[in-house]
Amino acid sequence: MAEYEVVIGLEVHVQIKTRSKMFCSCANVFGAEPNTMVCPVCMGYPGVMPTPNHEAIRKTIMAGLMCDCDIPSYSKFDRKSYFYPDMPKNYQISQYDLPLCLRGRIHISGKGFSGEELPDKYIGLTRIHLEEDVAKLNHLGRTSGVDFNRAGVPLMECVSEPDMRSADEAYAYLTALKQIMQYGGISDCDMEKGQMRCDVNISLRPFGQKEFGTKIELKNLNSFRAVHRAVNYEIARQSELLDAGEKLRQETRGWNDDRGETYLMRTKEQAHDYRYFPEPDLMPITLDLKRVDEYRRQLPELPEAMRRRFVADYGLTPYDAQVLTMEKALAEYYDCGAKLTKSPKTLANWIISDLLCELSASGQTISACPVTPEHLAAMIDMIDAGAINNRIAKTVFAEMASSGKPPRQIVAEKGLAQVSDEGAVIPLVEQAIAANAPQVQQYREGNEKVVQYFVGQVMKLSRGKANPQLVIKLLKERLDG
Ligand code: ADP
Ligand code: ZN
Ligand code: MG
């Protein structure tokens, strides 16, 4: 099989978190009884007038600024005509030639979905435009129902340049985009609630060829994992056709997640003509620089900036920083604790290995976690100060996770403080030596590793509380003497 260069561009729809819909005052909520969040405007009754939601416009511009987009001073809405049961007006209010955001970019780096290191690069964003979502069709056996609660919900479409070169890069781009939207409070991007939806455009070309190959558009991708799988499936399918000397047709294909394959939905000949024209019921959007600058000042710290800060200020590896910024709440948790402890790298290790395991085992979110960043930082400082050892810290951590008590209180109540007093440890060391004559013999014959065995014995006798450094020192003094 010949090797081809993979070219991928993504079109991602993101629902904007607002109180009301895009052009009416109906609530923007998920999961309500079907057709209870509707009014004449979002139901497309004749003669009604749309009123734009300024919060949705602001959030779209914020999203654009976070992706380094230009924000043109003049933008407008257009009608996209089409006929389908999910759209009562038979046109969708969208944006065509003058969207709110143009020419942005999103940075990807770190470890990809498959675990290997990604190239450090920017994926271009062509545009972000604002539109209204359409109704949801629910297919129940042989009948279908239409739920208009979703019709008119503010929706952004983020169109990327064809800059991705693998399934891993597409996955990383989606992860980065989702993080930006979440950090900015633009959307929760919960794919199970349809808050983020993704179409994939993919083509192959021989390495070195300048022109792009014929692109195939993939729809119905319900998770990032599905995107990853579908891309790899298409790479194999298209390679095979090209190898056989076939010419690809431009087509739209669906993804069947159960079968793990794509299937033909329609060819280019069946493509719609949307007959876009300016929406006559809405004023164009004019933005002066002052307003855009004001929005710029409202921007939160972005995941990428946070990762760089974590590496520079707290001595983390890029991988630690990648894991800890996965979710905004987790990043804020770490940042809060790291400011309190003298060992922010140790804190990162505890969060990544112990806290995240604990959360996934208990099914808790970081915000509801009983272990506060203050408590975890305090526990790490206790380890550093020698008040408890690492083994006891595991017990303290488990107790913090179940009771939410501060570590000092747990150590005091359970008598877990590390014993660093020679007078208390010497008898235990002597007891261990007296009870293990064969091991003493082995040590004296030159087997240094036996020391670890003795450390284990003394720790057991102290019920884990002896200071391990002190134990080693005392053991050596006696064994060598
Ligand atoms: P269309 O006119 O069919 O909507 P666009 O040019 O608007 O196509 O591009 C839609 C999406 O497809 C964009 O994300 C773009 O990056 C991507 N794209 C365009 N051409 C290709 C190609 N040859 N291979 C892969 N993706 C492509
Ligand atoms: Zn409405
Ligand atoms: Mg297009």
Same domain, 326 and 462: no
pLDDT score of 117: 86
DSSP string, 283-318: PPEE--HHHHHHHHHTPPPPHHHHHHHHHHHH---H
Same domain, 256 and 315: no
3-state secondary structure of 153: coil
Q: Which of 375, 434, 428, 367 is nearest to 404 (CA)?
A: 375
Structural domain contains residue 184: yes
pLDDT score of 273: 86
pLDDT score of 1: 57
Taking CA atoms only, the protein residue closest to ligand 1 atom 22 is 215
What total of structural domains would you count in the chain?
3
Q: Please, what is the angle between helix 303-314 and helix 328-340, to 10°? A: 20
Q: Is the C-beta atom of 252 inside 6 A of ligand 1?
A: no
Cβ neighbours, 10 Å, residue 372: 15
**394, 414, 434 — which closes off a domain?**
414
Token digits for 257? 């997640």
How far is 125 from 158, CA to CA, in rounded Å? 7
Q: Is the C-beta atom of 99 inside 6 A of ligand 1?
A: no
The residue range of the domain holding 265 is 4-291
CATH at 455: 1.10.10.410
Surrounding ion ligand 2 within 5 Å at CB are 24, 26, 39, 41-42
pLDDT score of 2: 62
Taking CA atoms only, the protein residue closest to ligand 1 atom 15 is 9
Q: What is the pTM of this model?
A: 0.84
Q: Is the C-beta atom of 205 inside 6 A of ligand 1?
A: no
Query: What is the length of the chain?
Result: 481
Give the CA dihedral 20, 22, 28, 31, nearest 10 degrees. Answer: 160
Same domain, 403 and 450: no
pLDDT score of 37: 97
Kindly identify the ligand whose nearest atom is closest to the C-alpha of 37: 2
Which portions of the chain are predicted below pLDDT 70?
1-2
Q: Which of 130, 149, 159, 134 is nearest to 55 (CA)?
A: 130
